[in-house]
Amino acid sequence: MLVYDTIGIQQILPHRYPFLMVDTIVEMERFKRIVAIKNVTINEAHFAGHFPGKPVMPGVLIIESMAQAGGLLLLQEIPDRENKLLYFVAIDEARFRRPVVPGDQLRIEIDVLRFRTNSFCKLAGKALVDGEIAAEAKLMCKTVNREDA
């Protein structure tokens, strides 16, 4: 079931092209879990140099897609979200299991491990391609005021 399309995502996340790394949200359970889709296409700028003739999505962008999916879930629960940002503050236990290439569809699964609306949040993320784990990590973020950022 489609929960948010790209238009709905942009109403919550501050990210825009070329740095919006989530295309749709297909599942969401408030305060607990979100599942997002990222369609990986050859026309994305990073593929021109990573790596010419053998394009591979950079691992840091896979992690960023996880962070954005988690941000979508958490920002909905933060009062006055228009004046807030979620800053990425730590990554633990990051593992990359297989390359992600143009034509793949990333299924990003995020589970909330800890959440406080005006403090730190901890998430467990997985990015899968065809049911196979491509990457996984634990992510921490912090709520900040946009004016202070």
46 is known as an active-site residue: no
- Of 50, 81, 138, 142, catalytic: 50
Cα 88 from chain centre? 11
Residues with active-site annotation? 50
